Structure 1
């Protein structure tokens, strides 16, 4: 795992006089599942939005390199053509489209019709609830079902890097378990993942490496297993 997929150097994000991210370095290598954990307001989501160029306002400094090339100035919608996909906080499904149409939108850059249909069947087998409701409008689904759909839609693009922003937020414990099972399996298939998550224990149990973010700074980083056993991490984020 030495090939860098994402490399962030000296990232700073400010909204007026408020410094949300204060100069962080972070790297995700080929095939890794890396998690960014921290309390609410630590700057985790802002970091993801800086990567994807989707900050509505705010001054961004530093360098963000994806597959060795800077993302500075790249229009967000072009990222999917470079096989970078994000499942945003709040899911962001197309509410007035059916489940099947949402999945097709995830594959809009692809032209292999047989492969697209095979992938839809694959995700229907992973998430049987979606198959049962394939013609249903996405806006009528429960939060957990929308999260399933958002993940499947992103994976339809065959991403080289998958960004996940708080996938467990607002879900029932049984649904959280299912979502993390899928995250682990997708990682085992070789998809490179950067996971932002408030459930630090689940995130570190699934990840190879982790970064702890606090007040806009990376305060601790290392192997996920080591972070799980770090007294500071346990006290602050694991309730131990």
Structure 2
């Protein structure tokens, strides 16, 4: 029996009279990389924000279980201490803090000083550009550098579940490939990941399973490799068929 890290049941989110998410079910099992793909405005980011308690005032219904515990309605800061980390769309780095300070903020729930220092060096090794600029304010970095920093900062918390919201958005092709290389490597280390992404081809190539979201509903789910070869997915999201 696979262990659910995240289980979402009949999630509905409405902003006033606008139903952004219309009763979706999805689950992520331990060690999986699951991707949620769909066009802009499909409700993907709203789903992540509902999971993490970062939605503005709106009506939310349904159940969200993280590690077997109901978390719908929880505050985001409570979830960080439970090792649920999110890299938001737009990166969300602390712009007036240095790269090094941002990384240390990622580990603020930890107290293993030697382990924290080792992890900082690990991420400097993976992203040498961050090490070169470690004393630079994060707000002065390029978009790609900020995405590197946001991912490294989230992983400094040793998350049980990592949520990634559009990590490739606005990046150059070479930077997109680097970010996906890191996503694949982190997944290979056993970190459980839910990836929301418009680049359907790269995300399905990296993932174990996938969900397709359209206009607030899940229209398809299954093995990621099977979905890559599905004519409907190819026609709608891969520019093929």
| 2:192 equivalent to 1:158 | no
Render the CA deviation track for 1:75-134: whole Å, top value 9, x for unaligned. 111111100000000000000000000000000000000000000000000000000000
Q: CA deviation at 1:168?
A: 0.0
Matches of 2:218 and 2:192, distance apart in 1: 21
Q: CA deviation at 1:73?
A: 2.8
Render the CA deviation track for 1:177-206: whole Å, top value 9, x for unaligned. 000000000000000000000000000000
Which residue in the other structure is 1:211 paired with?
A: 211
Q: CA deviation at 1:170?
A: 0.2
Matches of 2:163 and 2:105, distance apart in 1: 18
Q: TM-score, normalised by structure 1?
A: 0.99
Which residue in the other structure is 2:90 paired with?
A: 90
Which ranges in structure 2 are unaligned for 5 or more consecutive residues?
none
2:7–2:27: 8 Å Cα contact kept in structure 1? yes
Which residue in the other structure is 1:43 paired with?
A: 43
Matches of 1:86 and 1:149, distance apart in 2: 13
Which residue in the other structure is 1:100 paired with?
A: 100
Which residue in the other structure is 1:131 paired with?
A: 131
Which residue in the other structure is 2:72 paired with?
A: 72
Q: How many residues align?
A: 240
Counterparts of residues 26-41 of structure 1 (less than 5 Å): 26-41=26-41
SS at match of 1:168: coil
Which ranges in structure 1 are unaligned for 5 or more consecutive residues?
none
SS at match of 1:82: coil
Q: Which runs of 4+ in 1 moved over 6 A?
A: none
Q: CA deviation at 1:72?
A: 2.2
Which residue in the other structure is 1:202 paired with?
A: 202
Which residue in the other structure is 1:115 paired with?
A: 115
Matches of 2:7 and 2:202, distance apart in 1: 24
RMSD of the TM alignment (CA)? 0.6
Matches of 1:144 and 1:100, distance apart in 2: 17
Matches of 1:50 and 1:148, distance apart in 2: 24
